[in-house]
Amino acid sequence: MSYETILLDVEDGIATVTLNRAEVMNAFNPQMRLELTHVLRHVPEMARVLVITGAGEAFCSGQDIGDAHGAAGESVERIVREEYAPMIEGLVGCPIPTIAAVNGVAAGAGASFALAADVVIASENARFIQAFTRIGLIPDCGATYTLPRQIGLPRAMGAALFGTPVSAAQAAEWGMIWEAVPEAAFAETIRARAYALAEGPGEAYRLLKEAMRQSAMNDLPAQLELEAHLQGEAARTRDFQEGTLAFRERRAPRFEGR
């Protein structure tokens, strides 16, 4: 599939997807949602790590209002259910580590999309805005699921009700994102983080992601049972053998996949 609204680059086991509608701050339209859903489905076949960022000065401003202007409630519901939900599920369910490299504003569905990644790294000039109530809507794309779990109900409620921009530094302090870095160091930080994951134990990462995602639905006994099962799988991999051998030999491990 050729892409019109995103750029895809794969190098050294790292796939970089760039949202490429800079003229509208990389706002989502139907084509972009389709292309992102497609690439999220197939990127594990190409790479060991996925980085998502935005072209220009924004990460993603959310829904393209011009594209959705005048839409009836039934059509908005269909779009959220049939176009946004598969895209978010594709990102959350992606078996390789995912990094949202938030280079600028992430608003509305753009903020929800970024926060669905495994790791969010933001430039210090980035802002996260739950802008939905500004146009009479509620947060979607999983924001009502992720935000209370990431930052607690009081902060999630305030961010959603007021729609006040949250700076990258504040988002990091709250635990909404992994880290905020100076703009001058942003590109190199993303590159270093991506390479560190690309060189790591891919199967362990997949199992780790499964355990973390399921923990929100499990009680402690169920989670302990899941950990035992997944740890057994991890212990049967060549990466575990290599990791323990490298530890004994006091050298860096050479995991498969690079």
Residues 186 and 207 placed together within one structural domain of the fold: no
Q: Which of 158, 179, 198 is where one domain is finished?
A: 198
Is 157 part of any domain? yes
Is 232 part of any domain? yes
What ranges in the chain are assigned the alpha helix state H?
A: 30-42, 65-68, 73-79, 85-92, 109-115, 143-151, 153-162, 168-174, 186-198, 202-215, 220-235, 238-249
Instruction: Tell me the per-residue pLDDT of 229-252, one tens digit each, with 9 for 90 and over.
Output: 999 999 999 999 999 999 999 999
Full domain range(s) for residue 208: 202-249
Where does the pLDDT of residue 78 fall: very low under 50, low under 70, confident under 90, or very high at 90 and above? very high
Distance separating alpha carbons of residues 160 and 144, to the nearest angstrom: 9
Residues 60 and 22 placed together within one structural domain of the fold: yes
Instruction: Tell me the per-residue pLDDT of 171-207, one tens digit each, with 9 for 90 and over.
Output: 999 999 999 999 999 999 999 999 999 999 999 999 9
Tally the domains of the chain: 2
pTM score, whole prediction: 0.94
Is residue 69 pLDDT above 80, yes or no? no
Residues 174 and 46 placed together within one structural domain of the fold: yes
Residues 183 and 150 placed together within one structural domain of the fold: yes
CATH number reported for the structural domain that contains residue 40 in this entry:
3.90.226.10
Distance separating alpha carbons of residues 130 and 56, to the nearest angstrom: 21
Residues 182 and 60 placed together within one structural domain of the fold: yes
Residues 105 and 226 placed together within one structural domain of the fold: no
